[in-house]
Amino acid sequence: MRWTVSKGSLGTLAADLLILPVLEGKKGPDLSGVIDLAGGHGSLRGVIEGAGFTGAATSTLPVHCPGLKCGWVLLVGLGRPDAVSLEGLRKTGGAAALAARSMRTRTVLAMPTLAVTGYDDETVARCWVEGAEMALAPAGPSDARRSKGDGPGTWKVLPGSADAAAIRRGLQQGESAAMGCLEARRLVNLPPNQLTPRMLADEARAMADRVGLKCTVMGPAQLKRLKAGGILGVGQGSENEPCLICLESKSAPKGAPTVALVGKGVTFDTGGISLKPGAKMDLMKADMAGAAAVLGAAAIVATRKMPVRLVTLVPSAENMPDGRAIKPADVLNMASGLTVEVLNTDAEGRLILADALHVACGKKPDFVVDMATLTGACAVALGQEFAGVMGTSGELIEVLEQAGGETGERVWPLPLIDAHREALKSKVADIKNLGAREGGALTAAAFLSYFVPDDVAWAHVDIAGPAWTEKTGPLGPRGGTGFGARLLARAVELLVD
Ligand code: BES
Ligand code: MN
Ligand code: ZN
């Protein structure tokens, strides 16, 4: 969808439907912000009150208004002014978009100023667009209920008393954020035979071309030169060769910080020789959700032209059992020079991330964030609503917490101390890839920390819980959630501010 600010007024616009957000007042709907839009259409108040519409959050009601040029108004409740939140605005935008979906019509969205809620016009517009785009996203290519032909192709926004320039900025930000999120979802939802490591690299290259980033892909020959035994080891049981994908800013302002994002790109995780049980193994097509998130974030950062030197690294492999596959007791030589004893081939994410983190740190970054569907333990501990965050930089962890609070992709800190690192010492190699079953998310992070020099500000985000949802919700269908793309882009924005 395209979003544009309209210069017209309600009286002159060619439209068949006006979407009208309404706050919930103490007694009935609060119309102070919206009535000015109607300029000369005083009947609007009577219509809203007559319909018995209260403005309760995410409620919608279409009403026929023969007195208005557009004929139909879709009332959308924002809830009480003091209870409005960023996520609430997204959900309201989503509810409005879903309600208007079946109306094949020229739609105009009224965007009154919501100053009483404490949110400025830019923020309201941004969240609204994000919510609408996320709610309307298809579950897959053949999702008829949410097909492309539905709903208006262009959304016109009528600023009313709000600041048109601020709304325009908000619309652009929202479109960009939603694009990154939906791109991440699309990649996660692709079947694993249509998204091998090579195909993921092709997708990354196409995205890089679209948004103006440089893309390089290292295949097995180059990975051998890097001695990237982690990526090569995990990939060696598959017909589909592993790779390391790198997206980089083409240019950056002088003095701009370097931020590295690293995302786990296991295009399918069978567990390898330590084979997973069959039940729900299909969900392991989503084991590249970290990769999808960092690629989506890179696309947002690039389209927003943030002043940063961004380095995005995606180690990608298919984890398969095979005559050539790695097996428990193998020892791998990693790119950093460390040796790793493989005790469980299903703990593969940390092996490929280790090499990618080593390469990332070679770029002398000011901040490194990796994102991965790394452990079932993290999902057990924190559930679907929270990702776990661990790392070596309190500042970076706080930035991620703030960013997630704003984007509605929440992260929760988990501990990482020397004892967790000690637990990974091996008798036959420097470290082993398996710790105790208890605290599995923590030892996974501790493993990664061996590949990040002490002086690098690093955080690891485990998204095993929130990357996928079985339930269709107000902001999207069952499937990949796109979790992390908007979060990381916002974190980058906070870091360069
Ligand atoms: N990709 C899985 C983690 C995962 C599990 C993500 C469920 C999403 C949902 C990861 O590669 C894995 O298999 N981890 C093992 C680690 C264990 C062998 C130490 C796990 O969590 O069981
Ligand atoms: Mn695994
Ligand atoms: Zn995995």
| DSSP states along 146-184 | G-TTSS-SEEEEE-TTS-HHHHHHHHHHHHHHHHHHHHH
Question: Which pLDDT tens digit goes with each residue over 308-319?
Answer: 999 999 999 999
CA 276 / ligand 2 centre spacing (Å)? 8
Ligand 1 centroid to residue 298 C-alpha, Å: 25
Low pLDDT (below 70) residues in the chain: 33-43, 103-104, 144-152
Instruction: Please state the atom number of ligand 1 nearest to the C-alpha of residue 437.
Output: 19
Count other Cβ atoms within 10 Å, centred on residue 428.
9
Per-residue pLDDT of 4-15, as tens digits, reads 999 888 777 788
pLDDT score, position 71: 86
Q: Which residues line ligand 1 (CB under 6 A)?
A: 269, 287, 344, 346-349, 373-377, 379, 434, 440, 464
* Whole-structure pTM value: 0.97
Q: Reply yes or no on whether 276 is catalytic.
A: yes
145 by Cβ neighbours in 10 Å (0-12 / 13-18 / 19+) ranks as exposed
Condensed to tens digits (0 to 9), the pLDDT of residues 196-239 reads 999 999 999 999 999 999 999 999 999 999 999 999 999 999 99
CB distance 231 to 315 below 8 Å: yes
Residue-wise pLDDT tens digits, 418-439: 999 999 999 999 999 999 999 9
Per-residue model confidence (pLDDT) at position 75:
93
The domain limits of the chain are 2-181, 190-496
Domain 190-496: give its CATH architecture.
3-Layer(aba) Sandwich (3.40)
| Cα-to-centroid distance, 344 and ligand 1 (Å) | 11
Alpha carbon of 136 to those of 1, 90, 303, 431, 479: distances in Å? 10, 12, 22, 46, 14
Q: Which of 276, 363, 421, 478 is catalytic?
A: 276
In the set 91, 168, 304, 350, the catalytic residue is 350
Q: Which of 264, 341, 346 to mutate to test the pocket of ligand 1 (most atoms within 8 A of CB)?
A: 346
Segments in 364-430 forming alpha helices (H): 376-382, 394-407, 418-422
Ligand nearest to the CA of 279: 1
How many whole angstroms separate alpha carbon 146 and alpha carbon 136? Answer: 6
Query: How far lies 56's CA from each of 76, 251, 447, in Å?
Result: 8, 47, 48
Closest ligand to residue 266's CA: 3
Give the tens place of pLDDT for each residue, 340-370.
999 999 999 999 999 999 999 999 999 999 9
Q: How far apart are CA 312 and CA 309, in angstroms?
A: 10
Exposure pattern of 155-178 as b/e (b: 16+ CB <10 Å)?
bbbbbbebebebbbbbbbbbbbbb
Give CATH superfamily name and number for 2-181: Leucine Aminopeptidase, subunit E, domain 1 (3.40.220.10)
Q: Please give the Cα distance from 289 to 464 (Å, whole number).
A: 9
Ligand 3 mean position, distance from CA 311 (Å): 23
Q: Which helix (H) or strand (E) holds 61?
A: strand 60-64
- Ligand 1 atom at shortest distance from the alpha carbon of 266: 1
d(CA 165, CA 5): 9
Q: Is 106 a catalytic residue?
A: no
